[in-house]
Amino acid sequence: EPREGTVLTVISVAATTAAAHADDPPGDLVRAVADRAAEALDRTTDQLPELASAGVVDAGARGFLVLLDSLVAVITGVSARRRRYRGSLMGGGRPGHPDDATCSGSSEMDFEVMYLLDGAAGEHIGALRDELDRIGDAVVIVGDSSSGDGERFSVHVHTCEPGKAVQAGLAAGQMSDIRISCFALDAIRSQVDSAEPPPRYKRAIVAVVKGQGAAALFADAGAAVVRADGGVSTDILAQAIRDTDAAHVIVMANGAMTSQDLVSVAADVRSQQRSVVSLPTLSMAQCLAALAVHDPGESADADAYAMAEAAAGARWGSLRRAEGRMMTLAGTCEVGDILGLIGSDVLVIAPDQTEAATALLDLMLATGGEMVTVLAGSEVDDAALDALAEHVRRNYAGIELSVYATGQGDDLIQVGIE
């Protein structure tokens, strides 16, 4: 029973547009199709009462637009920019549902029944559909003859009489893979685990750091600190997240863990009462920039976005001692040389820390900056730090310099530019 305001409406508009622009160059064709589909998507809210009540566009149609926009990006190399599609809050209750709202368009059945059916003749499928329509709703029967062993049908129905739905299938053919789900039980299982107490705090920040000074610095900035001087395991990070006892946790591993490990940790500790967001910070300098804009008074999503934006906007570099002879973008280095890196690229090779530090800073400030933050490791020379401060004073008037003794053992210094 097709209805206007669903993905079918948007597909129809896309097909009509494609036919009208069939003779256009491919780039113009796909752009026209995607733009008309976006306009049709916006209209779905007014076409279906359920969508109007919830204040949202049709989800399937939105997904179809994602596919069209991806097609545009592949063919033209330019990604379309769309508005954010968000639901509205109505009546102070759940999103899109006033407290006195009724669900007139949804199923009132208690069970979902699905099974596969083999060896059924066409007239048997017609009779099966009639019987399932009589005892339930949301009936879907799809045939598949790709296996070459005759047609197999996938059957789906919502009903209060699951036994009769199965009996109807038995009368039509050979059944397999029978699945019966109870909506009430699914709802109970999806509820918050009563064994897990509600969190005490709304929000927390977990920062993975190296060095005793860094631990104190980030703790003073409000973060729960995990030391990674000798490496850090997923189990340790997961426990640190749980120990925050917070409903929303932002994690910054600062290059100490792989992205796969961070995804694994987040999946392990996420629950009905705890959300976890990992910001892709690769250095403590980026982490410090993110913490500077952290605002507990903001909404969790807005706060995480602002922190991610600040971290991404902070250019960072480091000094390290070469442990072997190797080719770099700056030439060939020898054992013991001081390397200046911007991100992960070696752009400076110098015989001593002072020359390397000033050369690295000049490169990083070539594109501008207002504030320089230096995180000093345990092996850095005091003379190099003094020379760096003097270099900023003489050559970069108006730029603020902050130096923190963080004590990390791998980088001689980390430099952040904002």
Domain boundaries, the chain: 7-76, 111-189, 202-313, 315-417
Digit-by-digit pLDDT tens for the chain (418 residues) are 778 888 999 999 999 999 999 999 999 999 999 999 999 998 888 888 777 766 778 889 999 999 999 999 899 888 777 777 765 433 333 433 444 443 334 457 888 899 999 888 777 888 999 999 999 988 888 887 766 667 888 899 999 999 999 999 999 989 998 989 887 776 655 554 546 678 888 899 999 999 999 999 999 988 999 999 988 999 999 999 999 999 999 999 999 988 888 888 988 888 888 899 999 899 999 999 999 999 988 888 889 999 999 999 999 999 999 999 999 999 999 999 999 999 989 999 999 999 999 999 999 999 899 999 999 999 999 999 999 999 999 999 889 999 999 999 999 999 999 9
Q: How far are the Cα atoms of 117, 254, 276, 388 from residue 232, in angstroms, in the given order?
A: 52, 12, 18, 32
Q: How far apart are CA 222 and CA 158, in angstroms?
A: 51
How far, in Å, CA of 249 to CA of 113, rounded?
39
Indicate the pairing of strand 174-182 with strand 326-328: unpaired
Write the CATH number of the domain with boundaries 202-313. Answer: 3.40.50.510
DSSP 3-state helix, strand, coil percentages of the chain (rounded to 5)?
A: 40, 25, 35
| Burial grade of 317 (CB within 10 A; 0-12, 13-18, 19 or more) | buried
What number of other Cβ atoms are within 10 A of residue 255's Cβ?
19
State which fold the 111-189 domain adopts. Alpha-Beta Plaits (3.30.70)
Strands 345-350 and 338-342: antiparallel
Match domain 315-417 to its CATH number in 3.30.450, 3.10.620, 3.30.1180, 1.10.10: 3.30.1180
Q: Are 29 and 16 in contact (CB under 8 A)?
A: no
Predicted model pTM: 0.55
* DSSP states of 127-191: HHHHHHHHHEEEEEEEEE-TTSSS-EEEEEEEES-HHHHHHHHHHHSEEEEEEEEEHHHHHHHTS
Decide whether 111-189 matches 202-313 in CATH topology: no
